């Protein structure tokens, strides 16, 4: 055992005292470091999706999607892209039960050769609201009521139903909330959806609208409400335990990535807005096409370092994937980044091991709290000649947008 400075520790059970009865001496640096670190070891939990479970794995496409997207992780069926997945409840705090009636988060971080791509979604294909400006009101209404902080992880209270009764666009989502989809039997049999409409962009710059779906290969299964309540009382970690033990036993969860693709010129051929997150696109109108498979085959080594510190952002895209004008998505692109800065305390949260890109990264961003890189160049600006103009933008390989207005 050593201190964080690497000094060997001879006694970690007794503080250094002046005489047998004390007082404790301030020079006991091990005592001070041990308690100070303990006092500071909690970080703010997520405002929503606080209760989460994670797993490592890989994604592999069935065929090249180069016709629609130049994203390299979708182009080569022989390449396995590492992923980290975080499943979560939405409303409850970190200590709430797994089996409550609630929407579930389904977020996937792809560590691609072109950078990180985050596919952030839920197990319900639609959402409560159409514009992100309403998101604080929605979450305030569904969270425990502020005067007594009750009820925990539940939508069955006055504030939520008051808000919903005055928000007609939420009716589609409420039908899903009251269905068995909000009582998944476990994470291995839970669907995922990107909710928003995104864009695929190919090498020629041709864009298509795309909806993302994750389909568990074990099928979709749920609990009865009475069953979920009883299990929640006996084992609040039920879903987390199932995911962990299944992977430990070698029963690796598998999910098929499926997409609905719409040509850009067909955007207005429907009798509803395909960018509206309160609506889904019926598969009878746009077929759902399987394009690859994800396998989760390794549990995290440390819950806090990985599952708690992982930072998902819909704004993390790679060349070949682009945004749409969905106003809820546009709000999420800003809000998620704000959240990570608040929770993790530094713009350098991308350098934490679970958030770090596996491909090389170079830019002129410097300093900030907890900087983990040690840049050796004296040049930290662009344009420059002292470093031969490097690092420099790459017009042919870099991310570009083709979004029309």
Catalytic residue set: 49, 122
Number of residues written out for the chain:
405
Q: Which residues have CB under 8 Å from 225's CB, separation 6+?
A: 101, 183
316 Cβ partners below 8 Å, 6+ apart? 109, 115, 116, 117, 118
> Cα separation of 23 and 74, whole Å?
64
The gap from C-alpha 183 to its chain's centroid, in whole angstroms, comes to: 20
Distance, C-alpha 123 to centroid of its chain? 13
Q: Is residue 246 within a helix (H) or strand (E), and if so which, with residue range?
A: helix 238-248
Distance (Å, rounded) from C-alpha 247 to C-alpha 89?
20
What letter would DSSP give residue 184?
B
CA contacts within 13 A on the Cβ side of 125: 17
Distance in angstroms (rounded) separating the CA atoms of residues 339 and 332: 10
Other CB atoms within 10 Å distance of the CB of residue 157: 15
Largest CA distance in the chain: 85
Alpha carbon distance 323, 314 (integer Å): 9
How many CB atoms sit inside 10 A of residue 7's CB?
Answer: 12
Could you tell me if 318 and 73 are in contact, meaning their C-beta atoms sit under 8 angstroms apart?
Answer: yes
| Alpha carbon separation from 185 to 60, 219, 243, 368 (Å, rounded) | 26, 11, 11, 43
């Amino acid at each position: 055992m050593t201190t964080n400075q690497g000094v060997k520790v001879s006694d970690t059970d007794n503080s250094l005292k002046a005489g047998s009865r004390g007082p404790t001496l301030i020079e006991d640096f091990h005592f001070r470091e041990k308690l100070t670190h303990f006092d500071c070891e909690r970080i703010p939990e997520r405002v929503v999706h606080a209760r989460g479970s994670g797993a490592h794995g890989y994604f592999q496409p069935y065929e090249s999607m180069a016709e629609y997207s130049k994203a390299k992780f979708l182009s080569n069926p022989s390449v396995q892209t590492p992923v980290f997945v975080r499943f979560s409840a939405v409303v409850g705090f970190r200590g709430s039960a797994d089996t409550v009636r609630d929407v579930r988060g389904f977020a996937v971080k792809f560590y691609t050769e072109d950078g990180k791509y985050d596919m952030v979604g839920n197990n319900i294909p639609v959402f409560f609201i159409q514009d992100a400006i309403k998101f604080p009101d929605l979450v305030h209404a569904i969270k425990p009521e502020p005067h007594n902080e009750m009820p925990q992880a539940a939508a069955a209270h006055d504030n939520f139903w008051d808000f919903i009764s005055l928000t007609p666009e939420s009716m589609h989502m409420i039908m899903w909330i009251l269905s068995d989809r909000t009582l998944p039997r476990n994470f291995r049999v839970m669907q995922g959806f990107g909710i928003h409409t995104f864009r695929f962009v190919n090498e020629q710059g041709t864009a298509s609208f795309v909806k993302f779906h994750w389909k568990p290969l074990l099928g979709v299964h749920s609990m009865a409400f009475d069953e979920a309540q009883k299990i929640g009382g006996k084992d609040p970690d039920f879903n987390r335990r199932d995911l962990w033990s299944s992977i430990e036993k070698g029963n690796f969860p598998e999910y098929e990535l499926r997409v609905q693709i719409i040509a850009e010129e067909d955007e207005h051929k429907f009798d509803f807005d395909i960018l509206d997150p309160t609506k889904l696109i019926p598969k009878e109108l746009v077929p759902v096409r399987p394009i690859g498979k994800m396998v989760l085959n390794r549990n995290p080594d440390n819950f806090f370092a990985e599952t708690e510190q992982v930072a998902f952002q819909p704004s993390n895209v790679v060349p070949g994937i682009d945004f749409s004008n969905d106003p809820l998505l546009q709000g999420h692109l800003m809000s998620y980044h704000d959240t990570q800065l608040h929770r993790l305390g530094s713009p350098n949260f991308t350098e934490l091991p679970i958030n770090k890109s596996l491909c090389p990264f170079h830019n002129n961003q410097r300093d900030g709290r907890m900087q983990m890189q040690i840049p050796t160049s004296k040049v930290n600006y662009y344009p420059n000649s002292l470093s031969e103009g490097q690092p420099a933008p790459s017009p042919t390989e870099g991310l570009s947008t083709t979004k029309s207005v």
